[in-house]
Amino acid sequence: PTPTTYSLDSEIDGLAIVKLPGAKGGRGYFIASSLQEIVERLRALVNRGLVSDVSKVIIQEYLVGVTAYFHYFYSPVLERLEITGADIRYESDVDGLRRIPIEKLKEIGVEPTFTVVGNIPVVLRESLLPTVYSYGEKFVNKTKEVLPPGVVGPFCLEGVVDRDANIKIFEFSGRIVAGTNLYVNGSPYTYLYWDEPMSVGRRIAREIRLAVEKNRLSSVIT
Amino acid sequence: PTPTTYSLDSEIDGLAIVKLPGAKGGRGYFIASSLQEIVERLRALVNRGLVSDVSKVIIQEYLVGVTAYFHYFYSPVLERLEITGADIRYESDVDGLRRIPIEKLKEIGVEPTFTVVGNIPVVLRESLLPTVYSYGEKFVNKTKEVLPPGVVGPFCLEGVVDRDANIKIFEFSGRIVAGTNLYVNGSPYTYLYWDEPMSVGRRIAREIRLAVEKNRLSSVIT
Amino acid sequence: PTPTTYSLDSEIDGLAIVKLPGAKGGRGYFIASSLQEIVERLRALVNRGLVSDVSKVIIQEYLVGVTAYFHYFYSPVLERLEITGADIRYESDVDGLRRIPIEKLKEIGVEPTFTVVGNIPVVLRESLLPTVYSYGEKFVNKTKEVLPPGVVGPFCLEGVVDRDANIKIFEFSGRIVAGTNLYVNGSPYTYLYWDEPMSVGRRIAREIRLAVEKNRLSSVIT
């Protein structure tokens, strides 16, 4: 499941996040609660020359809940998907604004930004794991289908978990994500698979070695 | 020390948390600041058929401060209480609401919910450890007294630490708590006791082995 | 880079944090948005006898962003500065206030306090590391210059990372900081240096042993 995408003539339900062209690293977004507000703010941005091509603006359902980044490793050699960890992003200045009294926040009128500063470790509620695992499997299968041979090795799904423990995925990273830096000496999950310290780097090396041993090197390189 | 429990005819001081019958997993609570407000909200819930037995509603002092979950292991064989770790819960949507600008939060009128999504590791300020340890000891001694042979192995006390570093305990878990999933390969505390990776599972196995070696198996099984 | 310090007759820009004499452990601060507000609040504190010597009040630029504590180890024997970890403080009641609905927060009129309760691990965004490293080097060089032989072993720089990923340092600790308790069994960074579990305690012991082996003990003791 993914967030709904809106066009500029569909009414939005609840909150929407509006991503401006070139939005990157937590900048260039705003949150709005009506189509009218979006149109007004975009018009102002166009007038100030900050947005030139409104057709490149992306308007998405704003998912209310908490973010979580799920790390996976897909092993073609073992034909196995592994959950290797999870993290939360530490972001400026949104994660610091709570330190400021509400009245002061209003006075200075800061809107939160989401510049990534670091990653914080988290383990997931066990009852979420089957869903997290199945989303990873769907991702692997879909990439096999549309982009054979499909994803090999590490990837990450980025989601929001809502108050009913439903998970929606708003983004993926088809690479070693920064959050895995937390687990240079292994994560609580990799210990259950390997019983030895297992970073992503070592896991990739292990996959290659296993592939060589089984004469299946072609299954892990493209 | 534990939070004060109020009845429906005692005036409350500060904030109160009202737990509805069947409240579970972070849902079915509300926070109120006066007896009148509690009565009004309960009346509305009864009228809407959401609460049938008001006598089962629990009204407690709302502890202002930060929550922390203290993990322990009581070893009857070593006659030793061990602090094995601590964690913070990652909860939806309360831990995500700060991402939404205050004005928008007001517009959508969301009240925070506390659905557990995961656990975040924390080490405790050293000066809190004697208190945390003594609360664990009191728990062990009390269970020995009222429910012999008392608690054996892992348990958890769930507390709030206030701005004066006072700790009140609002709940306990007499089992392996989810937060220990963080420490599958050991916690900063278990390393000081064992100098080897020590999960709760291994700790239980170790206790049984020690008991067998000392012919004291009956002290760890009930 | 460090925050600007204001005097009682300079107008402030944005927010200022006012540290009262004897402020400690997260208490005895307030945040203000104008010189007039500072003067009024200080006058009230003086009248109530809570502040006697206004000349000891420190007024600093309030850095909007997220805090981070950078752990270092300077090795005179290896002539090497090591980044050994990073942490975030878990503070009461500021980190708990988000659990209370905004309307209730206003009713009880709590101003956040910053009593340290624990430390949460974090790894830093990789692109911040060169800056964090260079700040550590500057600190080492400056202490060599003004207080020879300069810092030896563990120290900590305490900073705020703003929305543009700029880092300002507001404090240092020339000792083993509490946040290193997270890394009793090593941090993601120490693994990259040592490939074995390396606490600060072991790192100090290692430095002494290396110094003895190289006949350079005098370079690590003062």
> What is the ipTM score, two decimals?
0.94
Statement: residue A90 has pLDDT above 90: yes
Residues of C in contact with A115 (CB under 8 A): 161-165
C55/C5 Cα distance (integer angstroms): 13
Residue A139: phi, psi to the nearest 5? -65, -45
The predicted structure's pLDDT at residue C49: 86
What is the bridge-based pairing of β-strands B16-24 and B58-61? antiparallel
Q: Looking at the complex, does the CB of residue A98 fall below 8 Å from at least one CB of chain B?
A: yes
The alpha-carbon gap from A61 to the nearest alpha carbon of chain B, in Å, equals 13
Chains A, B: CB contacts under 8 A, how many?
100
Q: Looking at the complex, does the CB of residue A105 fall below 8 Å from at least one CB of chain C?
A: no
Of C64, C102, C123, the CB nearest to A181: C123
The predicted structure's pLDDT at residue B136: 98
Which residue is closest to C125 within chain A, CA to CA?
A: A118
B219 vs C222, more confident:
B219
Average pLDDT over residues B88-95: 95
The predicted structure's pLDDT at residue B10: 81
What confidence tens digit (pLDDT) does each residue in A143-184 have?
999 999 999 999 999 999 999 999 999 999 999 999 999 999
Taking residue C203's Cβ as centre, other Cβ atoms within 10 Å add up to: 23
Of A90, A108, A121, the CB nearest to C15: A108
The predicted structure's pLDDT at residue B55: 87
Which residue is closest to C26 within chain B, CA to CA?
A: B163
- Asked if A188 and B178 come within 8 Å (Cβ–Cβ), the reply is no
Q: Looking at the complex, does the CB of residue C96 fall below 8 Å from at least one CB of chain B?
A: yes
Which residue is closest to C127 within chain A, CA to CA?
A: A117
The residues with which C61 forms a beta bridge, in sequence order, are C16
| CA-to-CA dists, residue B200 to B44, B134, B196, angstroms | 45, 21, 13
The alpha-carbon gap from C219 to the nearest alpha carbon of chain A, in Å, equals 32
- Asked if C14 and A108 come within 8 Å (Cβ–Cβ), the reply is yes
The predicted structure's pLDDT at residue A53: 86
Statement: residue A136 has pLDDT above 70: yes
Which residue is closest to C88 within chain B, CA to CA?
A: B122
Q: Which of C92, C107, C111 has the highest number of chain B CBs within 10 A, making it the mutation to test binding with B?
A: C92
Categorize the per-residue pLDDT at B51 as very low, low, confident or very high, splitting at 50, 70 and 90: confident
Of B27, B100, B185, the CB nearest to A188: B185
Spell out, as residue ranges, where chain C has pLDDT lower than 70.
24-26
Residue with tokens 């002539």: C79
Which residue is closest to A183 within chain C, CA to CA?
A: C188
The predicted structure's pLDDT at residue A26: 66
Q: What is the DSSP letter of B56?
A: G
Statement: residue B25 has pLDDT above 70: no
Sign of the four-CA dihedral A142, A147, A149, A155: negative
The predicted structure's pLDDT at residue B26: 66
- Asked if A102 and C102 come within 8 Å (Cβ–Cβ), the reply is yes
Q: Looking at the complex, does the CB of residue A28 fall below 8 Å from at least one CB of chain B?
A: no
Q: Which of C27, C88, C99 has the highest number of chain B CBs within 10 A, making it the mutation to test binding with B?
A: C99
Contact (Cβ atoms closer than 8 angstroms) between residue C58 and residue C3: no
- Asked if A101 and C94 come within 8 Å (Cβ–Cβ), the reply is no
Nearest Cα to A221, choosing from A72, A76, A79? A76
A158/A116 Cα distance (integer angstroms): 14
Q: What is the DSSP letter of B193?
A: H
- Asked if A66 and B90 come within 8 Å (Cβ–Cβ), the reply is yes
